[in-house]
Each structure stands twice: as structure tokens, then as C-alpha cells.
Chain A
Amino acid sequence: MELFSNTNIDWLSKKWLFLGFSLIFSVAGVLSILFWNHIPMGIDFKGGTQVRVAFPQQPNEDHLREAMDKAGIRDASIQRLTAGSGYEALITLPEANDTNSDSARNAVVHALNSQYHDSAFTIGDAYTVGPTAGKQLTHQAGWAVLWSLLGMLVFLWFRFEFIYGAAAVIAVFHDTLITVGAFSLTNQEITLTVIAAILTLVGYSMNDTIVIFDRIRENLQLMRRATLAEVVNKSINQTLSRTLLTSGLTFLTVLALYLFGGEVLHGFSFALVVGILIGTYSSIAVAAPMLVAYTEWRERNGKSTGLGAGRKAAA
């Protein structure tokens, strides 16, 4: 069985379409981040206490809130989870300071024990993070993402040329922005495992982009008289079936995770689901056109394009 053999689509001509598409999603995400939901941070970054409670049937959020209030717990945020199997709720309290008290978790359990009578419940897990630990983690995670991107830029610069590295990093940045925007739009929390997923999709998007770049490099040697634009188009077409297949297969496994992996991994699998789709899209729609656009710009301004004598960027 074969799909996508010998496609001959002019990808670069569609770059305005791609730009529009990307802009819509990026702007929506950015607007949500700035004005609407901001970036919902999990308590491992914010600090606080979060208790996951499982119920035999759908719990009544109002009753839960009442139970908390009666026990004197203000600021509790209650979120019902739409888990695959089973009914869960997340009760979150902000943390005031780095005190030694485990009281937040116990207060919640005590409140439920004494005030919530709708049904029995089991405590799944309880997570208390002091603000010091939270801040530490935020810094660490931030640096990790930056180092990752930097490392890849250097690696690509080394293997190809600087512009390739820059184009790939911009594409990855675009992917991360849209993924984080998706979290903001759907008001899902970003926890450390989600950051892990984001770092993975950074690697994955790079993968994808590198496959195309490798083919471009090969074709630049083979197609001596073609313009860069023609080479890029051909390269994308040649690798198209591999790109779509791999993304499809990885997407399949990640979808299995999203559907069957349970509530705890939900944020993680959501990040990957979005990330893999966008990562594949960005290699074709962002990295490649950026490469051509930059080279064309250099050519127009009379600078060297690194393409070699006699080769133009575009016809």
C-alpha cells in the first residue's frame, strides 16, 4: 500500500496561507495568555496544596465547596475532572508561606471527612509545595527550555548553517507558543510533566525539520541548476510520505495515551497531541519557507547567500 508517492505540490507558494493559519492560532493563544486565562500554572510552580479525590459517582461541586467553607477553608478552588473512568475532583489551596505545617492537606481531608456526606471518597494523591520549591522549579524549568533551544541551535549550526538553525529554532518556538496557548485557551494546568512533554515535542519538531533539511542539503548537491525554492519544494515532496507517516504513527501512540492513559497523564498527553500536530506542520509551513525567505532577502540586498555561484534563491 502506498500513499503520497510522487506528490508535486508547490508548498512555498502557499506560504501566505500558512502564515495566516499560524497567526490565527498564535494570536489566539497569546491573547488568552495575556488577558483571559493567563498561563495556568500547576502547584509545582506556584506553590500550594492540591488534593485529588476520587468518588464513586459524579460529585456535586457546590457541596464540596460548602464542605470546605464550613470547615473554614477559604480560597479553595474545586475542579471536577472528566476522567476516562471514575469521577475525580481536584481541590487546590494556595500556599501562604514556607511553614512546616502539613495542615493544608489535613485540613482538606478533615473537612471532607466531617462536612461532606454525599458519598464515600478516597484520597488519590496530595501534593504540597512550598513557594521556595515552586520558584526553584520555575527557574530550573525555564532554564531547561532555554538551554534546550540553544543546544539545538548550536547543533544545527554545526551540521548545516546558521540560517538553518535559526529557522528550525523559530519553528520550534512557534510550536511551543501555540501549545502553551492551547493550554491557556483550555485552561489546563502546566505542571512539570507538561514541561517534560513540551521539551519532548521540541525534540520531535526538530526531528521533523532536520529530516527535511537533510534532504534539502542532499538535493542542493544533486540539483545543481535549480533555485533554492525549487530544491526546497522537491525536498518537501520527497519526504512528505515519511513525514506524514511518522507523525501519523507517533500521533497514534500519543492518542492512545490521551484516551487510555488516565487522568494523571492528561496534561502531558494533551501537550503531545497538540505538539505533534503542530510540530509536523511547522517543519513544512514555518521552517522551510523561512529558509527561502531569508535567502531571498540576502540575495535582494546583494549579500552572499551561501548557495554557491550561479544559484538563485527563487526564480
Chain B
Amino acid sequence: MHKNLNGKIALIIAILAVFLYGIFGIPHGGLKESLTRRIHLGLDLRGGTHIVLQVKTAEAVAATSDNDMVQAQDTVGKIAPAARVSKPDLQQPVLVVSSVSQDKLSAVRDALNANAFAAYDLSSTNDGYRLTMKLAEVKAIREHTLDTSIETIRSRVDSLGVAEPVIQKYGLGEDQILVELPGIDNAEHVRDVIQSTARLEIHEVTGGPYTSEQDAQMQLQPDSVLVQGGNSLEDQSWWSLKRISVVQGPDFRDARSGQDEGGRPDVNFTLTTGAGEKFYSYTSANIGKQMAIVLDNKVREVANINGAIRDQGQISGGGFTKQTAQDLSLMLRTGSLPASIVFLETHTVGASLGASSIRHGVIASVVGLVAVMIFMLIYYRGAGINADLALLLNLVILLGFMGFTGSTLTLPGIAGVILTIGMGVDSNVLIFERIREEIRAGKSASAAVHAGFAHAWVTILDTHVTTIVSAIILFFVGTGPVRGFAVTLMFGLLANLFTAVYVSRVIFDAILNRKTRGEALSI
């Protein structure tokens, strides 16, 4: 019985061409260049740095509610001077307005219902009100903080001049960011650059300098915290600073490094208009007092407020080298991080290990592939060629899939390819064994082929589905390298469903077309 196979053969060749394109693109330059251009290599093969960090977004929520508290105090203070606004738990965005006299209650309520406090839910207490930040608002702040952090880190990392950096949200929830920098294997420098984007603020000085922490504790002013530092890097004095800052990171619009009158490096900054107003009213009300510039929870400079400053200011007085002044300006310019970060995981792979991994992976793949192909030829003779062709097509489709989807090939991914070779040939074995059984039972060549494929199909489907389920779970659980493995396994199995059943069948049919009636099948 002659089957018309031309359409099917054309389809297979078309698919081969399509996936070859996926692997190589339109080849120009050498074969190797085309290949490496399409298929991305993971860090464990290329060498580079992989960092997972977590942004403490709760800090941004606390900072926002701190600002709101100041504003609430202002607003309420104008209506009911005796009232106090406080934050009972510093970690929670809950403000308590207390000591409101009975006659002022409704006026205060109206004020608190204004737009400025739209982010809060208002509830009554014994002697005032409680403002609780809405959950949606908290969530929005946290998301915004995470997004801003990503942008800031991205601009920092750009200054390192890395090709194809990866900076993205990571993991499920938990405010984590993944930073991958191929080709850079000095994690220390990278962490410095990223970490240097921690918080910069200006606080009012309420007391100090104290030489020891105990002294400072005893003289601690209300609403203040203790911070260490001073005008030079070695200065370890303690200062009592008002907890809520006057100026924060996002308020800086620009900053340049320069030189002060003494020729020492300093930083000239410009605030945003809104922050400028706030700063102006603060500085004009506090002439003669001191303010502290706090970087990463250390006091970097304590300055006397000699006159009102609107939006142009200078951080000077020594304590900077040219490099640190430039770094600080860069930081202020591109925005400091809205919250602090914690490094959860750091992995650096040297380029030489990456290259050696590739070498090993490729050797193992080739050895495995050749061993399997030779065995199939010996054990199944003619049909072995069939299996080998299907296997090669399988690999082409697998790699083509990866080229098309821009997936990353990692070392476990190469292992996945090797595994696909082993498991892929399983389908062929299933079918061939069945065909042999049918021939032994007396069926003719074409009937045996037909029966073999029919019976084996159900089992092939079952086995592939279970392994694909494993791979999907792995994909969601795993990080980079393991994900690479899950991806190659999945694609390999899907490709295998196609080649083992459809392509093998077509090849068999083509062979059967050529056979005379009653001629045996080489299997």
C-alpha cells in the first residue's frame, strides 16, 4: 500500500529549516559566531556575578508615614494647639492624634478628612483620632519603592559598563531583586557600587557631639535618635538627631562635585522645588543651629546653619576625597535608594570555570549522543537509522526552541539536553520493541508498524506528561541554572513527542513504500 508521503516529508523538512534558523539565525560570519549570538549562555557558563538582594520596603512606608505625621501635626496644631500627633509603633504606619479637646473634635476631623490624608482610614479614639494607612496604599508604596530601587540600581550598574546586565524582580513576593552581570567576577566592587545607593538624609541636630554612647543616651532629646559620625571619617562622636529628616534622598535633584574655598573637594547639590521650600522654612527658622548630613546611618557632616538655604547647598568642610565627592554626587544625582537593601545571595563564577564547564558539557553530550546512536544502529539495524535521525532532529528542534524563545542555556541545561537524548530514545525503543513483538506474532511489516505505533502512543503520552509535570514544578521552584535545566527538559520532551511519533512514522512509511509485499523490515 503506497501512502502519499510527499506532504508529510515537506512538512518535516520545513520544520527542520525553521528550527535551524532558530539556532543560527541567518548565518553570517562563522558558524560558531552565529550560534553564540542566538543562544544566550547563563552565568555559570559565561562567568559573571549573580546577586539576589532584598529591599526593605517597610522602611519606605515608615518614612512616608513619618512625613505624614509631621504634616498632621502642622495641620492639627493650627486648629487644636494642645493636640499631639504621634506614632505609637515606629514600624507601623499608624498615627494617633491625642489630647483633642471636645469642642475641637469635629474641626480636627474635617481637617483629617482632607485630601492630604486620603491615604489613611480615620477612626475615633477616646481623646482624638487614629489614622491607619490603607492596605492598598501600603502595597502601592512598597511596589513603588521596589520599582524605584530597580531603576536606581540599573543606573548605578550602567556606570560599570556591563554588557547585557540583568536587573529584575525576583522570586515570589518578598521584595527581592536579581542582579546578574556577565563578565564581571569581582563581586566586591559590584556590591560597593550598589550598596552605596543607600540612604542620604539631612537631620536637625538636637544634641552633641558626645564622646560616648552613654553620655548621649543620658542627654537624648525627645523624638531623637543617636547616630555616630562627624566631619571626618574617623570621627566617632555620637550625635542626637531629630528622628524625622528635613531632606531625604528623593528631594535631591542634582549634585556636582567641586571644590570649596579651601580647595578641598566638596559636593554642591540642588533640591527639588518642593523640598527647597521646606528646606528654606527650616533653615530660616533655625539659624545658628546645626544640621547633620547622614549617609548610610552615619553622620558625614555637621554644618552650622548660617543663613536660609532654599534649594542650592553645599556639603563641604573636608572629609571628602575627589573620588568620594564624585561618588556622592553620582549617588545624589541618580537618586538614592528609597530604602536599604540586604544581600541575600552572591555567586561569582570566574570566566575560566565557565569555559571549562562548557567544554565538559559539550564533551559529555557528544559522548552520550554517539554512544546512544551507535547502540541503536547495532541493536535495531535499519530501524536504528530511523531512531538516530529522529534523535538528531530532536536536538535541532530543542536548540531551535531555545534560540527562538531567547532562553538561557546553563550547565544543568546542557545536562538536560543530555537527558533528553537518553529519554528521547526511550520512545523509539518502546515503539520498536512493540513492532518486533507484532512481527513475532506473525503480522506483516506494515501491519506491525501500524500496531506498534498505535499501542505505544498511549504509553509515550503518559510518560512524557509525568516528566513534563516534574519539569514545570522545577521551573517554578528553581533559580537560574535549575530553571535552565527545566526549560531544556520540557522543550526536549515536547520535541520528542513530535519526532518519535510523527517523524519516525513518516520514515517508516517511506521505507515500507519501497518494500515489496512480504519483504521483511530491518528492525
| A positions within 8 Å CB-CB of B | 1-2, 5, 44, 52, 54, 84, 86, 98, 100, 102, 105-106, 122-130, 132-133, 136-137, 140-141, 143-144, 147-148, 151-152, 155, 159, 192-193, 195-196, 199-200, 202-204, 206-207, 210-211, 214, 218, 238-239, 241-242, 245-246, 249-254, 256-257, 259-262, 264-265, 268-269, 272
B353–A252 CB distance below 8 A: no
B469–A155 CB distance below 8 A: yes
Which residues 492-517 in B have Cβ within 8 Å of A in the complex?
none
B418 in the interface, Cβ–Cβ < 8 Å?
A: yes
Interface residue from B195, B421, B459, B470 paired with A100 (Cβ < 8 Å): B195
A148–B470 CB distance below 8 A: yes
Q: A126-B187, A192-B478 are in contact. Are A252 and B470 (CB under 8 A)?
A: no
A252–B422 CB distance below 8 A: yes
A246–B360 CB distance below 8 A: no
B356 in the interface, Cβ–Cβ < 8 Å?
A: yes
Smallest CB–CB gap between B256 and chain A, Å?
29
B482–A203 CB distance below 8 A: no
B342–A193 CB distance below 8 A: no
By Cβ-Cβ distance, the 10 closest A-B pairs, closest first, are: A262-B360, A250-B422, A253-B368, A203-B467, A203-B470, A256-B368, A253-B422, A144-B477, A124-B353, A133-B344
A148–B473 CB distance below 8 A: yes
Interface residue from A105, A132, A200, A260 paired with B470 (Cβ < 8 Å): A200
Interface residue from B344, B348, B367, B375 paired with A129 (Cβ < 8 Å): B344
A-B contact pairs, 26 of them (CB 8 A): A5-B436, A5-B440, A86-B356, A100-B342, A102-B343, A122-B352, A125-B44, A125-B348, A128-B187, A130-B342, A130-B343, A130-B345, A133-B345, A144-B476, A199-B474, A203-B469, A204-B423, A210-B462, A246-B430, A253-B369, A256-B367, A256-B418, A262-B361, A262-B364, A264-B360, A268-B415
Residue of A nearest to B187 (CB): A102
Residue in B188, B470, B489 whose Cβ sees the most chain A Cβ within 10 Å: B470
**Bound-state Cα–Cα, A106 to B367, Å:** 38
Interface string of B479-497 (1 = CB under 8 A from A): 1011001100100000000
List residues of chain A with CB within 8 A of the CB of B346.
Answer: 102, 105, 126-129
List residues of chain B with CB within 8 A of the CB of A122.
Answer: 350, 352
* Contacts A133-B345, A151-B469, A206-B467 supplied; 13 other A-B pairs, CB < 8 Å: A44-B345, A54-B352, A86-B356, A106-B188, A144-B473, A148-B469, A202-B470, A207-B463, A241-B433, A242-B430, A246-B426, A264-B411, A265-B412
List residues of chain A with CB within 8 A of the CB of B44.
Answer: 125, 264
B347–A192 CB distance below 8 A: no
Which residues 407-452 in B have Cβ within 8 Å of A in the complex?
411-412, 415, 418-419, 421-423, 425-426, 429-430, 433, 436-437, 440
**Bound-state Cα–Cα, A218 to B456, Å:** 11
B458 in the interface, Cβ–Cβ < 8 Å?
A: yes
List residues of chain B with CB within 8 A of the CB of A252.
Answer: 368, 371-372, 375, 422
Residue of B nearest to A262 (CB): B360
**Bound-state Cα–Cα, A130 to B381, Å:** 55
List residues of chain A with CB within 8 A of the CB of B61.
Answer: none
Q: A126-B187, A200-B489 are in contact. Are A211 and B372 (CB under 8 A)?
A: no
Smallest CB–CB gap between B353 and chain A, Å?
4
**Bound-state Cα–Cα, A125 to B347, Å:** 7
**Bound-state Cα–Cα, A159 to B363, Å:** 40
Smallest CB–CB gap between A122 and chain B, Å?
6
**Bound-state Cα–Cα, A105 to B44, Å:** 18
Q: A126-B187, A253-B371, A260-B363 are in contact. Are A269 and B426 (CB under 8 A)?
A: no
B368–A105 CB distance below 8 A: no
Q: A214-B459, A246-B429 are in contact. Are A1 and B378 (CB under 8 A)?
A: yes
Interface residue from B174, B375, B473 paired with A199 (Cβ < 8 Å): B473
Interface residue from A159, A238, A253 paired with B421 (Cβ < 8 Å): A253
B433–A245 CB distance below 8 A: yes
B473–A151 CB distance below 8 A: yes
Q: A124-B353, A196-B482, A203-B469 are in contact. Are A257 and B429 (CB under 8 A)?
A: no
B353–A54 CB distance below 8 A: yes
Which residues 317-370 in B have Cβ within 8 Å of A in the complex?
341-350, 352-353, 356-357, 359-361, 363-365, 367-369
Main secondary structure of the interface of A (DSSP, over half): helix
B55 in the interface, Cβ–Cβ < 8 Å?
A: no
Residue of B nearest to A88 (CB): B353
Smallest CB–CB gap between A147 and chain B, Å?
6
List residues of chain A with CB within 8 A of the CB of B360.
Answer: 84, 260-262, 264-265
**Bound-state Cα–Cα, A148 to B476, Å:** 12
B52 in the interface, Cβ–Cβ < 8 Å?
A: yes
List residues of chain B with CB within 8 A of the CB of A52.
Answer: 353
List residues of chain A with CB within 8 A of the CB of B412.
Answer: 193, 196, 265, 268
Smallest CB–CB gap between A199 and chain B, Å?
5
A214–B462 CB distance below 8 A: yes
B233 in the interface, Cβ–Cβ < 8 Å?
A: no
List residues of chain A with CB within 8 A of the CB of B486.
Answer: 196
B191 in the interface, Cβ–Cβ < 8 Å?
A: yes
A256–B371 CB distance below 8 A: yes
**Bound-state Cα–Cα, A265 to B429, Å:** 28
**Bound-state Cα–Cα, A265 to B187, Å:** 23
Residue of B nearest to A241 (CB): B433
Residue in B52, B342, B344 whose Cβ sees the most chain A Cβ within 10 Å: B344
List residues of chain A with CB within 8 A of the CB of B356.
Answer: 86, 262
Which residues 276-316 in B have Cβ within 8 Å of A in the complex?
none
**Bound-state Cα–Cα, A5 to B489, Å:** 31
**Bound-state Cα–Cα, A123 to B191, Å:** 18
List residues of chain A with CB within 8 A of the CB of B343.
Answer: 100, 102, 128, 130
B379–A129 CB distance below 8 A: no
List residues of chain B with CB within 8 A of the CB of A265.
Answer: 360-361, 411-412, 415
B471 in the interface, Cβ–Cβ < 8 Å?
A: yes
List residues of chain A with CB within 8 A of the CB of B185.
Answer: 123
B188–A102 CB distance below 8 A: yes
**Bound-state Cα–Cα, A148 to B478, Å:** 14
B418–A254 CB distance below 8 A: yes
Residue of B nearest to A218 (CB): B455
Smallest CB–CB gap between A269 and chain B, Å?
7
List residues of chain A with CB within 8 A of the CB of B378.
Answer: 1
Residue of A nearest to B172 (CB): A140
B353–A125 CB distance below 8 A: yes
List residues of chain B with CB within 8 A of the CB of A262.
Answer: 356-357, 359-361, 364
Smallest CB–CB gap between B355 and chain A, Å?
11
A196–B418 CB distance below 8 A: no
Interface residue from A44, A102, A132, A250 paired with B426 (Cβ < 8 Å): A250
A211–B459 CB distance below 8 A: yes
**Bound-state Cα–Cα, A206 to B471, Å:** 13
